[in-house]
Structure 1
Amino acid sequence: MGAAFDIRLLSFEASSKIKVIKEVRSFCSYLGLKEAKELVENSPCVLKVGVSKEEAEEMVEKLKAIGAKALSFM
């Protein structure tokens, strides 16, 4: 089994808030709109834990593409 990574949302551009919330919901399907909004508004925060390196890199790139600062770590 490969290493497990966590995804951390550091910050986001105010103009991208809705896009970031939608992207977070796509990664974390168990979150409702209210929970995803609260999570994003309280960044920095951990979005997801225990994902593969490939999944972590994909999530970070998608978040960066919409104006968020994010990172993955072990």
Structure 2
Amino acid sequence: MPQRAWVVVLEADDDKTEAALAARGQQDRLDGALNGLVRSRLPGALTLVRPASAVFLVPDELANDLATV
């Protein structure tokens, strides 16, 4: 775990999208896609995908790169 980190949270912006993403198959696909993206763009960041949101812990030293992701 990083000593200092930024917490980035993604959530669906409407109920229809949230319900679609909550399906188990969709959650697994989203988890795989986001994990791949975060690993390639922000090495050292941690991801957690939940039914209604995704949370990223980005080490402080990588936070300057968030605008480019």
Larger Rg: 2
TM-score, scaled to structure 1: 0.38
Structure-2-length-normalised TM-score: 0.39
- The higher-RCO structure (CA 8 Å, 6+ apart) is 1
